[in-house]
Chain A
């Protein structure tokens, strides 16, 4: 499907989905407003600026920081693989799976694994892949896609989930959340205890200590990293703190930004294989550090800042556009304002042109971002590239018709006589199109795009400037009417 058509169609579907609208309203009302309130009253108001500054410093020395991380993980018996592309990451993971005769993989929620597309590759190799985060598991059973970074199934209600579980898990229908959770707990426990490989993302690694840290409330990620023989962690190359002090700031911003939590139920630090100090650690630990287009972002000072993102999802919880259309319209693992910047940069600006144009540039995403990323500035930059083209990012000007239109507008608006003539023609044309409600409901050509979804008020019988001219002339003559 053309991504442009896909965006409009999926946005329309999102707006028409009452369950999604209810879920979005709840999540934005609670978490979006809550995060803004917290930032304005936090005890350590410098934390966001400090974290951003450290984050940018780490990014500017990423080659050194990642080399340190790899060295420290290897010291503890872990293996580190640097994947330049998604294909490299897939190839490596399949090889690890093959050498370890893996038949079942349990996953912890990870957007990077979705970006890379590892699930279909594992399944094609005959390996069962099971999502273990409850929301992701529901979405997987429904053969659907997640619609929010931390709340993957907000587009589904308890009735839909009850019907899904009755159908797929063979339980009696219930719409009681504790009973539904218990059904998933029982089904997934068997999977978690018998899987050969755990596949997770990485919230924030710590280079100095050689750990990856993973955050969860459910305990599924701890299970997936402890019980299987092999643990593979996918890490976007930017998801690393240089030392524990930087790590602490990022962790506390992450849990507050994501769900207003002081700290998540579980924050685990892992990075090695089983030994005396880690009696039930995995036999093998593999960290896959992934570029897949990020180094190009890193090289561009205009967009480098976006790599400071800690994927808390706070910008989704306040964005007025995301709050209406939901996550599916973004056609990417990354939705909301952060997705509107990252997805075009990773997958092609022209291909995902609608994303930056769909946002309002209201600035709310910048205000709520824990690391104060200026997403509106980057959205504007993407729009500029779409308007004028950009060699470095291989952007072709989006619409020649649009450019022609604006040139004609420029000609018309800079000539008083031509502008007045066009106004008269348009007024005459619209008069014949005005309906009983005093509005124009159908316009030809490009105007049809406007009237497809809303009415257009006709041009007034007298414009403001025409009335002004008349009033001004009368006042010159010593009269006000």
Chain B
């Protein structure tokens, strides 16, 4: 059997070395329950209550702040009152951009109710644009994602202070949709916009069993050549965010 399937002895020795380094003389593994301060939190319940008690007017203010923060990050943000309005924006982007890596126009979208209701396949029935959905059963999902020049996602949270989307992976909502296509269009409901990173961390703490998530704040960029800012290093060159107006009640 290979060594990487049998690590217990190695691990015990490693951790024992550390224990001897910080607590010389302790011969047995230290139990975390004896040191509650290590994982202790400052109470953030007030923060969470504040988030839960926000009304529509508060959320409107956060949406405006989100748009203000987006400007320096080369992000385009739109507030839309209906999914029809959002679909118009996507159609406009798709018709006016050329695919970067192929001659065919493919779009990949998250398998999420908000996006499904855009009914993009109907909008593109007259165009040579194919719309794919990230159904978990689709064995060709990877190929379709790589072939797509636009990826449309739904984020769990938005952060107004830094114009950030908190993109969690979930069934039918893979990571690559917001990453591999040249253009990323993210959806966020107005009621899901938080004020700052502290609030986002407080909410993620309550959902921390998630397999993976990502804070996304704008298109991919690099300044490695003489500090000259260029958008589109490896991820999307363009990023658009649609804030969908909804009500907290």
Q: Which residues of A come within 8 Å of B, CB atoms?
A: 23, 26-27, 30, 57-68, 70, 76, 79-82, 84, 91-92, 95-96, 99, 132-135, 138, 151-153, 157-158, 161, 177-178, 180-182, 184-186, 188-189, 192-193, 207-209, 211, 217-220, 222-223, 226-227, 237, 242-245, 247-248, 251-252, 262-272, 275-281, 286, 289, 291, 295-296, 298-299
Contacts and interface: CB of A to CB of B under 8 A. Distances in A.
A295 B175 contact: no
A263 B164 contact: yes
Contacts of B7: 80-82
A452 B44 CA distance: 63
Contacts of A272: 211-212
B125 to A, nearest CB: 28
B87 to A, nearest CB: 25
Given A222-B175, A280-B169, A281-B212, 16 more contacts: A30-B227, A63-B16, A134-B224, A178-B230, A217-B221, A217-B222, A223-B235, A243-B40, A248-B198, A248-B201, A251-B197, A263-B215, A265-B221, A279-B172, A280-B141, A286-B4
Nearest to B146: A193
Residue among B29, B39, B205, B216 facing the most chain A CB atoms (10 A cut-off)? B39
B60 interface: no
B93 interface: no
A99 B2 contact: yes
Residue among B13, B42, B170, B201 facing the most chain A CB atoms (10 A cut-off)? B201
A92 to B, nearest CB: 6
A220 B218 CA distance: 15
A182 B232 CA distance: 8
A243 B31 CA distance: 17
A69 to B, nearest CB: 11
A133 B3 CA distance: 31
B137 to A, nearest CB: 10
Contacts of B173: 279
26 contacts: A23-B226, A62-B21, A67-B29, A67-B32, A82-B11, A95-B2, A95-B3, A134-B233, A153-B225, A158-B225, A178-B230, A181-B222, A193-B146, A209-B208, A219-B179, A219-B234, A243-B40, A263-B215, A263-B217, A266-B215, A268-B212, A270-B212, A279-B169, A279-B174, A280-B145, A280-B175
Contact of A96 (B4, B172, B179, B220): B4
B158 interface: no
B20 interface: yes
Interface in B225-245: 225-228, 230, 232-236
A60 B22 contact: yes
B37 interface: yes
Given A242-B38, A278-B169, A278-B211, A66 B232 contact: no
B220 A226 contact: no
Contacts of A217: 220-223, 233
B4 A65 contact: no
Given A84-B13, A226-B179, A280-B141, A264 B217 contact: yes
Contacts of B224: 133-135, 138, 151-153
Contacts of B134: 279
Contacts of A151: 224, 227
A143 B3 CA distance: 34
A299 B25 CA distance: 12
A185 B228 CA distance: 16
**Which 3 pairs of residues, A with B, have the shortest CB-CB distance?**
A219-B235, A218-B233, A299-B21
B48 interface: no
B179 A298 contact: no
Given A218-B235, A279-B174, A244 B216 contact: no
Nearest to B159: A263
Given A189-B101, A278-B175, A279-B136, A180 B3 contact: no
A108 B87 CA distance: 36
Contacts of B18: 62-63, 66, 237, 291, 295, 298
B212 A81 contact: no
B248 interface: no
B64 interface: no
B142 interface: yes
A218 B220 contact: yes
Contacts of A138: 224-225
A217 to B, nearest CB: 5
Contacts of B19: 63
Residue among B40, B211, B218 facing the most chain A CB atoms (10 A cut-off)? B211
A106 B141 CA distance: 22
Contacts of A91: 3
A33 B105 CA distance: 46
B186 interface: no
A66 B11 CA distance: 10
A269 B213 contact: yes
Contacts of A26: 227
B208 A244 contact: yes
A81 B39 contact: no
Given A82-B10, A265-B219, A278-B211, A189 B234 contact: yes
Given A244-B205, A277-B171, A223 B179 contact: yes
B98 interface: no
Contacts of A27: 227
Contacts of A30: 227
Contacts of A80: 7, 11
A84 B14 contact: yes
A448 to B, nearest CB: 40
Contacts of A62: 18, 21-22
A70 to B, nearest CB: 7
Contacts of B218: 265
B141 to A, nearest CB: 7
A270 B176 CA distance: 13
B66 to A, nearest CB: 13
Contacts of B40: 243
Contact of A280 (B174, B210, B232): B174
B95 to A, nearest CB: 23
A267 B215 contact: yes
Contacts of A177: 225-226, 228, 230
Residue among B4, B31, B236 facing the most chain A CB atoms (10 A cut-off)? B4
B20 A219 contact: no
Contacts of A84: 10, 13-14, 17
B204 A244 contact: yes
Given A279-B173, A281-B212, A222 B179 contact: yes
Contact of B22 (A59, A242, A265): A59
